[in-house]
Amino acid sequence: MGPYDHRAHVGNAGDVWKHFLLLEVANCLLTPDSSLVYAESHVGRPKYALKPSGDWESGIGRIWPALPLLKDFPYFNILAEFNSIESLSSLQIEFYPGSALLVAELAKRKKADLLINIWDIDPAVGAAWNECLDHSPISFHLDDGFSGVMSLLKSSSPGLLFIDPPFTSPEEKDAAEEIFCTAKSLGWTVLCWHMMATIPKEIPSSFSDQSIEFFVKFSRIGLEYAGAEGCSIRVASPDETMIPRISARIKAFLQIIG
């Protein structure tokens, strides 16, 4: 098996849920004229061209026809604009922004400053970021994301951290857990997720004032992913209003699309 390449998987059922929630969380934190540190351990490319037979067809491709109903959610709104969709007559999806570009775009819209530090180990991903960086305030690091983020956590003021390893080895789960717990204890808002072969029960599975784990079944909103019934998404935040707000937004989303 070669190194993980997200291009074949982009826009899959898991991407829909994780990016939907990532932008809801970012939306809570980004207020006009505010400044936020954003870090991502495994960032992937800035954007992707969607090709026939990709995993996106049973992911974002299935939601696409309902897009006009979902424009109140920043994730769907940005996707629509990214694909220049202004009317119902042009329901085409061709491009998909990766996680960091989605967050950067939301910050621009909210007139908030983002200080972005992102990691990926793949030189081709680094080359793709170099092409689109120009003068933007994004620091891309061609290095291991676990150790890079760990040292950032020790030197930076807290912000928003997204942990998104490909989970191609068992060690990645432990490393993700360690970073999640360290970031949470240092006052960061953290989001981490993984695919699950089976889903024990529906959302939410467990929560406290400051953290929540959602189990989502892809079929609940008509999505599919080979070998996975759904995914688990964990969010922790020192902001006690965050978890109730996110839960309410999931409910609103499911009422429209579920």
**Is 164 near ligand SAM (CB under 6 A)?**
yes
Least distance to ligand SAM from the beta carbon of 145, Å?
Answer: 3
**Is 122 near ligand SAM (CB under 6 A)?**
yes
**Is 119 near ligand SAM (CB under 6 A)?**
yes
Nearer to ligand SAM, 43 or 242 (CB): 43
**Is 145 near ligand SAM (CB under 6 A)?**
yes
Stretch that binds ligand SAM, among 114-122, 180-188, 207-215, 218-226 (CB under 6 A): 114-122
Least distance to ligand SAM from the beta carbon of 239, Å?
Answer: 22
The secondary structure of the chain, three-state, reads: CCCCCHHHCCCCHHHHHHHHHHHHHHHHHCCCCCEEEEEECCCCCCEEECCCCCHHHHCHHHHHHHHHHCCCCHHHHHHHHHCCCCCHHHCCCCEEECHHHHHHHHHHHCCCEEEEEEEECCHHHHHHHHHHHCCCCEEEEECCHHHHHHHHHHHCCCCEEEECCCCCCHHHHHHHHHHHHHHHHCCCEEEEEEEECCCCCCCCCEECCCEEEEEEEHHHHCCCECCECEEEEEEECCCCCHHHHHHHHHHHHHHHHC
Binding mask 32-61 for ligand SAM (x = CB under 6 A): ----------xxx-----------------
Least distance to ligand SAM from the beta carbon of 176, Å?
Answer: 11
Number of shown-chain residues binding ligand SAM (CB under 6 A)? 16
Q: Which spans of this chain sit near ligand SAM (rule: CB under 6 A)?
A: 4, 6, 42-44, 98-99, 119-122, 125, 144-145, 164, 166
